[in-house]
């Protein structure tokens, strides 16, 4: 397709065809989609600009509930974490009296582990040694003593980086032997984007909306059987607590999934970035690793598992630092050596993000000067999120035509919206049409369900529960009003 012609333009200058065009570029990149920052969000940013420039709208501000970005929605950072980060950035502050001793101690410990005592040095590619050790001890505490080897912990540039790296290791083959990776639908679109870019086969398994977005073993089985006809399924990804669906998996469900993965020889990838975000009565976070070990050596010695965590979510919501880790279990030694080599090419994850990850897994302990404030801030944030989860579910369920599962965990609600026939016929992407209209008329920015995947003929939107309570109430009231108007208009 690329031709090498050049032509004279009006002003007498030769203009050549580009080397890099949409036709000559990497085709797998073209297949990538990422709705969380898609057209709706771009339009929202434009509208914000228009408002600033004085353009009249039926609303005075855009309320964004499109992305799980807690600080952007006004959540305050944990004081202790930021004190230590300031100390690490400018160690002169260690000489000041204004910081508590435990903050200073943490900063000294991190700085000592950095080359030249500076967070400006590259760290080891796998992450700073003492941070990986702290992560390992955190995992052991979290999982009731199940051992964790720091050599299996890799610090990452956000969980995104770990997930993409792991998928990269897994993918190979062409045609019917192309690697297939099972992902839940609805999914967090990083997965579909990474699989598209890697040229792997995306194998969808649907979560059961009727049963509070839980995983069905029979669905896993039939989706796998179907996929085996045209690709080589190698891995199964789970997000728990769920994004965009907000469910928290039961221990039984996790057990079933592990047995399934063992039987079907699938590499497990457990995305557990919302591990502290559990709100619903009777729900509890169970890590895949813990359950794996409780199933005994037949499983714990065999099933390959990578699990992911991040500084971006939970009670800290520190997205901008791009901190995270992954732990790999039962990974083949030669493959792990390849993983270590692969991560070395990018040199290292951001050191401030590593420091922050360290603070998350090594937070102030009872008796330390910052403990009380830390616990107060942590609890306040998590309680507020729990309230907003409840509020969201309750108000949305008062709207005729909207059905909303309980937000058991994470930071999102993914309600089912019934759209009038006429709107479905008129629009190519009815939920996109709905969300765009909602944005233009009310200033509320949500993401259409199609960006995450949904059963054919069903429609949803994803909204975060992160706006401050007063704004969240406005948002929910406006959605209610809009939905009723929209339904009338297109009936």
- Binders of ligand PLP among residues 143 to 172 (CB under 6 A) are 158-160
Q: Closest separation between CB of residue 126 and a copy of itself, Å?
A: 10
Q: Which does 235 bind (CB under 5 to 8 A by kind): ligand PLP, a copy of itself, none?
A: a copy of itself
Q: Return the one option of ligand PLP, a copy of itself, none that residue 400 interacts with (CB less than 5 to 8 A, by type).
A: none
Print the binding letters for residues 88-127 with a copy of itself: x by CB under 8 A, - otherwise. Answer: -xx-xx--x-x---------------xxx-xxxxxx-x--
By beta-carbon proximity to a copy of itself, the closer residue of 384 and 424 is: 384
Contacts with a copy of itself by CB under 8 A: the residue count is 104
Q: Binding string to a copy of itself for residues 48 to 77, with x set by CB under 8 A, is what?
A: -------------------x-xxxxxxx-x
In the complex, minimum distance from the CB of residue 122 to a copy of itself, in angstroms, rounded to a whole number: 4
Per residue, the 3-state secondary structure of the chain, as one string, reads CCCCCEEECCCCCEEECCCCCCCCCCHHHHCCCCHHHCHHHHHHHHHHHHHHCCCCCCCCCCEECCCCCCHHHCCCCCHHHHHHHHHHHCHHHHHCCCCCHHHHHHHHHHHHCCHHHCCCCCCCCCCCHHHHHHHHHHHHHHCCCCCCCHHHEEEEEHHHHHHHHHHHHHCCCCHHHCEEEEEEECCCCHHHHHHHHHCCEEEEEECEHHHCCECCHHHHHHHHHHHHCCCEEEEEEEECCCCCCCCCCCHHHHHHHHHHHHHHCCEEEEECCCCCCECCCCCCCCCHHHHHHHCCHHHHCCCCEEEEEECCCCCCCCCCCCEEEEEEECCCHHHHHHHHHHHHHCCCCCHHHHHHHHHHHCCCCCCCCCHHHHHHHHHHHHHHHHHHHHHHHHHHHCCCCEECCCCCECCEECCEECCCHHHHHHCCCHHHHHHHHHHHHHCEECEEHHHCCCCCCCCEEEEECCCCHHHHHHHHHHHHHHHHHHHHHCC
Among 150, 189, 324, 349, the residue binding ligand PLP under the rule CB under 6 A is 324
Is residue 225 near ligand PLP by the rule CB under 6 A?
no
User: Nearer to a copy of itself by C-beta: 29 or 380?
Assistant: 29
The single residue among 7, 10, 13, 53 that binds a copy of itself, judged by CB under 8 A, is 13
Among 346, 376, 422, 485, indicate the residue that binds a copy of itself (CB under 8 A): 346
Question: Which of a copy of itself, ligand PLP, none is residue 352 near (CB under 5 to 8 Å by kind)?
Answer: a copy of itself
Residue of the chain from 61, 151, 298, 426 that contacts a copy of itself (CB under 8 A): 298
Spell out, one character per residue from 61 to 80, where the chain touches ligand PLP: x when CB under 6 A holds, - when not: -------x------------
Q: Assess 409 for contact with ligand PLP (CB under 6 A).
A: no
Q: What is the footprint of ligand PLP within residues 379-408 (CB under 6 A)?
A: none
Among ligand PLP, a copy of itself, none, the one that 14 touches (CB under a kind-dependent 5 to 8 A) is a copy of itself
Applying CB under 6 A, the residues found at the interface with ligand PLP are 68, 158-160, 188, 190, 239, 243, 271, 273, 310, 312, 319, 324, 347
């Amino acid at each position: 397709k690329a031709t090498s012609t050049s032509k004279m333009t009006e002003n007498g200058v030769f203009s050549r065809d580009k080397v890099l065009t949409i036709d000559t570029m990497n085709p797998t990149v073209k297949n990538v989609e990422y709705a969380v920052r898609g057209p709706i969000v771009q339009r929202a940013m434009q509208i914000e600009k228009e408002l600033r420039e004085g353009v009249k709208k039926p609303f005075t501000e855009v309320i964004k509930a499109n992305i799980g970005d807690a600080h952007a929605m006004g959540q305050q950072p944990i004081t202790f974490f930021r004190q230590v980060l300031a100390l690490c950035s400018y160690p002169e502050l260690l000489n000041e009296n204004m910081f508590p001793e435990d903050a200073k101690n943490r900063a000294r410990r991190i700085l000592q582990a950095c080359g030249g005592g500076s967070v400006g040095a590259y760290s080891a590619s796998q992450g700073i040694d003492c941070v990986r050790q702290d992560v390992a001890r955190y995992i052991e505490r979290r999982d009731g003593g199940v051992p964790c080897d720091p050599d299996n912990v890799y610090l990452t540039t956000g969980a995104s980086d770990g997930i993409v790296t792991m998928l990269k290791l897994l993918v190979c083959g062409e045609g019917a032997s192309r690697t297939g990776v099972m992902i839940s639908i609805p999914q967090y679109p990083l997965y579909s984007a990474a699989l598209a870019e890697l040229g792997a086969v995306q194998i969808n398994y649907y979560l059961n909306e009727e049963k509070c977005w839980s995983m069905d073993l029979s669905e896993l089985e039939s989706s796998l059987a179907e996929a085996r006809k045209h690709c080589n399924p190698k891995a199964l990804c789970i997000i728990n607590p769920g994004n965009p669906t907000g469910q928290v998996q039961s221990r039984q469900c996790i057990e079933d999934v592990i047995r399934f993965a063992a039987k079907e020889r699938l590499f497990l990838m457990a995305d557990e970035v919302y591990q502290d975000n559990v709100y619903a009565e009777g729900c509890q976070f169970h890590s895949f690793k813990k359950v794996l070990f409780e199933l005994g050596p037949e499983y714990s010695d065999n099933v390959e598992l990578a699990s992911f965590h991040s500084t971006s979510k939970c009670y800290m919501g520190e997205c901008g630092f791009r901190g995270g880790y992954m732990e790999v279990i039962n990974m083949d030694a030669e493959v792990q050596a390849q993983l270590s080599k692969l991560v070395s090419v990018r040199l290292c994850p951001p050191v401030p993000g590593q420091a922050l990850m360290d603070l998350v897994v090594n937070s102030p302990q009872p008796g330390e000067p910052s403990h009380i404030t830390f616990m107060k801030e942590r609890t306040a944030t998590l309680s507020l999120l729990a309230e907003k989860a409840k509020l969201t579910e309750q108000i949305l369920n008062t709207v005729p035509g909207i059905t909303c599962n309980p937000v058991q965990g994470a930071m999102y609600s993914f309600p089912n919206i019934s759209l009038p026939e006429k709107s479905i016929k008129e629009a190519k992407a009815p939920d996109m049409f709905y969300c765009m209209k909602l944005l233009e008329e009310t200033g509320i920015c949500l993401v259409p369900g199609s960006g995450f995947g949904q059963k054919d003929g069903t429609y949803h939107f994803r909204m975060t529960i992160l706006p401050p309570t007063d704004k969240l109430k406005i948002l929910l009231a406006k959605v209610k009003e809009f939905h009723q108007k929209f339904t009338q208009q297109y009936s």
